[in-house]
Structure 1
Amino acid sequence: MPQQEIVDAILANARTAHERGDTLLQLTIESGRLTGAQSSWGSSENLTMSDPEVGWLLGHVEAIGWRLEHASHVFVETGSSSSARLLSTGEGTVTRGEILGYYVLRRTAD
């Protein structure tokens, strides 16, 4: 689940935009993460972690008076590291980053 301060900020933003009369709302929410660690053998292993609570948060935004129109995702690399493999040629690479969800919501009819 996103950190509580992020949840509070997103919900406050959705309420403010709705009260202001905006017709569209765009939210950017981290929906996953790619992590990994190098091993002493020089190999690498990446692990994708997703946040199952993003749907819960979007449901609360919709309860304010918004309807999800479009969603897309992008991977933003935040770092990587490589090391030589011990028993073979080549390198093992670990990549880290965030999977960001971009959500466009339309104001529902009052």
Structure 2
Amino acid sequence: MTTEEAARLLQLARDAHRRGDFLLHLQLEVSRLTGEASSWGSADNAFVSDDSVGYFLSDVERVGWRLEQTGYTFVESGATTSARMLSTGTGVVNHGAVSGYFTFRRVD
């Protein structure tokens, strides 16, 4: 997560708290799946996780919210395929992100 995105979401949390909202729902990218096709036709996937998510959630709780529910989904953004060199079939490299959905309840 970028610093700008964290600041934007924290401002949303502050604004919702000032308005007196009872629930806050935030969505953010928590990890990413990337990769490249190799010259041999195999898949080379890489999984990158955002270690700052826990710190960010703690910052939201400091604003006056308590984490109640989480959910995650993989959002595929594409795939790369290549023919395998020494066998039949293709190698596939998927691309996408895991989005985290976080619902907070107001703490008074």
| TM-score, normalization by structure 2 | 0.98
Give the partner amino acid of 2:33. Answer: L
d(CA) in 1 for partners of 2:100 and 2:8? 16
Distance apart, 1:105 and its partner CA: 0.3
- Aligned residue pairs total 108
Distance apart, 1:57 and its partner CA: 0.2
Deviations 1:9-64 (A, max 9, x none): 00000000000000000000100000110101111121111111100000000000
| TM-score, normalization by structure 1 | 0.96
**Displaced runs of 4+ in structure 1, greater than 2 A?**
none
Distance apart, 1:66 and its partner CA: 0.2
1:10 equivalent in alignment to 2:22 = no
d(CA) in 2 for partners of 1:72 and 1:45? 27
Identity rate, percent: 50
* Corresponding residue of 2:62: 63
* Corresponding residue of 1:48: 47
What SS is found at the alignment partner of 2:41? Answer: coil
* Corresponding residue of 2:106: 107
d(CA) in 2 for partners of 1:16 and 1:40? 51
Give the partner amino acid of 2:34. Answer: T
CA RMSD, aligned part only? 0.6
Give unmatched runs, 5+ long, in structure 2: none
Give the partner amino acid of 2:81. Answer: S
d(CA) in 2 for partners of 1:103 and 1:32? 15
What SS is found at the alignment partner of 2:4? Answer: helix
Give unmatched runs, 5+ long, in structure 1: none
1:39 equivalent in alignment to 2:64 = no
d(CA) in 1 for partners of 2:45 and 2:38? 11
d(CA) in 2 for partners of 1:81 and 1:31? 22
Give the partner amino acid of 2:45. Answer: N
